[in-house]
């Protein structure tokens, strides 16, 4: 029979090592991607188009595709998501409608991305083909919009709720209308938090691949409009690794993705600190 103290120590050692393993896994993944990908990261890798299905050359066209696709998705999702959050927090009370909206937002967040991809294919690519051009950046963005809407609604809601009630009361007391209060007092105070949510959305959009396989087309040509097909960096990574087996290009692409994700993470932390400083933390 072990003494109580030994048991206590042993148990704590196990817990510490579990946490250590978790952190080590992260370091191992990021480390191995960077070590194997960093050699690829030179100017010509960024500025050359892929050749031979991506097994040679650079990542210029997927890079352009990613930028187009991410910007368009966020242009669609940010206003709608923030609008929904403002409605839910400022313009309504708890009631059946709000409960239904919350429930469906949660349900949407839970639907597997591949199923959203199936929907995007059936609806945007096939059904709305005359409007979207079939497989295109627009179809891909609309599909990704459906996927990240819940993320943006929820983080914006949290940010708006964190704005102290006194701000609103002060503004209303000065004779500002409800709308003016929201636009000039509440939203600016909540902005760092809202932007954090938007950045989170950007990260997800850049990393997402499965629904894009069904909607974005995967073309290696540089897209000239949102009605043309394209591919993103994540898609490029997958297609290159699976179809050509050219791991050096895949690792170079993965390293670019990891760097982007790290930067987004850093930026969102800076914003969060600023939000805390602005509204005094909670």
Give residues 162-201 in contact with another protein (rule: CB under 8 A): 175, 177-179, 200
Interface with another protein (CB under 8 A), residue from 74, 86, 185, 275: 86
Query: Which tokens sit at 243?
Result: 């179809």
Interface with another protein (CB under 8 A), residue from 63, 72, 74, 84: 84
Confirm or reject binding of residue 105 to another protein (CB under 8 A). Answer: yes
Interface with another protein (CB under 8 A), residue from 187, 208, 231, 275: 208
Cβ within 8 Å of residue 45, ≥6 positions away: 58, 59, 252
For another protein, the closer CB: 170 or 207: 207
Neighbour-count burial of 177, counting CB atoms closer than 10 A to its CB (0-12 exposed, 13-18 middle, 19+ buried): exposed
Confirm or reject binding of residue 75 to another protein (CB under 8 A). Answer: no
Interface with another protein (CB under 8 A), residue from 23, 43, 166, 173: 23
Chain centroid, CA 225 distance in Å:
23
Interface with another protein (CB under 8 A), residue from 210, 221, 222, 259: 210
For another protein, the closer CB: 9 or 224: 9
- Please name which of 115, 113, 111, 134 lies closest in space to residue 124, comparing C-alpha atoms: 134
For another protein, the closer CB: 27 or 43: 27
Interface with another protein (CB under 8 A), residue from 46, 60, 119, 167: 119
Give exposure, 81-120, as e/b (b: 16+ Cβ within 10 Å): bbebbbebbbeeeeeeeeeebeeebeebeeeebeebbbbb
Q: How far apart are CA 209 and CA 95, in angstroms?
A: 37
Cβ pair 239, 54 in contact under 8 A:
yes
Q: How far apart are CA 151 and CA 231, in angstroms?
A: 23
Give the 3-state secondary structure of residue 56. strand
Chain centroid, CA 249 distance in Å:
24
CB of 270 to another protein, least distance (A): 13
Confirm or reject binding of residue 146 to another protein (CB under 8 A). Answer: yes
Query: Which tokens sit at 258?
Result: 């990891």
Scanning 41-49, 98-106, 160-168, 184-192 for contacts with another protein by CB under 8 A, the matching segment is 98-106
For another protein, the closer CB: 137 or 205: 205
For another protein, the closer CB: 224 or 273: 273
Site string for another protein, 25-54 (x = CB under 8 A): xxxxxx-xx--x------------------
Please give the residues from 240 up to 279 whose contact with another protein meets the rule CB under 8 A: 241-242, 247, 250-251, 254, 257-258, 261-262, 264-265, 269
Q: How far apart are CA 74 and CA 165, in angstroms?
A: 29
For another protein, the closer CB: 26 or 43: 26
For another protein, the closer CB: 72 or 254: 254
């Amino acid at each position: 029979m072990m003494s109580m103290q030994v048991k206590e120590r042993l148990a704590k050692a196990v817990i510490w090592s579990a946490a250590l393993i978790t952190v080590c896994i992260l370091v191992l993944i990021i480390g191995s991607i960077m070590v194997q990908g960093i050699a690829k990261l030179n100017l010509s890798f960024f500025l050359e188009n892929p050749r031979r299905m991506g097994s040679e050359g650079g990542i210029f066209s997927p890079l352009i595709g990613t930028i187009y696709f991410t910007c368009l998705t966020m242009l669609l999702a940010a206003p709608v998501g923030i609008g929904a959050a403002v409605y839910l927090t400022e313009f309504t009370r708890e009631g059946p409608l709000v409960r239904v909206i919350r429930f469906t937002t949660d349900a949407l967040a839970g639907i597997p991305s591949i199923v959203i991809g199936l929907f995007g294919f059936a609806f945007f690519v096939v059904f709305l083909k005359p409007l979207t051009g079939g497989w295109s950046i627009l179809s891909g963005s609309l599909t990704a919009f459906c996927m990240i809407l819940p993320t943006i609604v929820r983080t914006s809601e949290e940010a708006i709720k964190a704005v102290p009630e006194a701000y609103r009361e002060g503004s209303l007391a000065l004779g500002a209308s409800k709308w003016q209060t929201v636009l000039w007092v509440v939203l600016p105070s909540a902005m760092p938090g809202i932007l954090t949510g938007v950045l989170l959305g950007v990260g997800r959009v850049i990393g997402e691949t499965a629904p894009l396989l069904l909607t974005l087309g995967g073309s290696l040509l540089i897209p000239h409009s949102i009605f043309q097909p394209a591919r993103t960096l994540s898609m490029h990574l997958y297609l290159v690794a699976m179809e050509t087996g050219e791991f050096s290009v895949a690792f170079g692409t993965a390293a670019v993705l990891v760097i982007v994700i790290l930067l987004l993470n850093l930026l969102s932390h800076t914003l969060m600190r600023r939000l805390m400083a602005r509204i005094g933390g909670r």
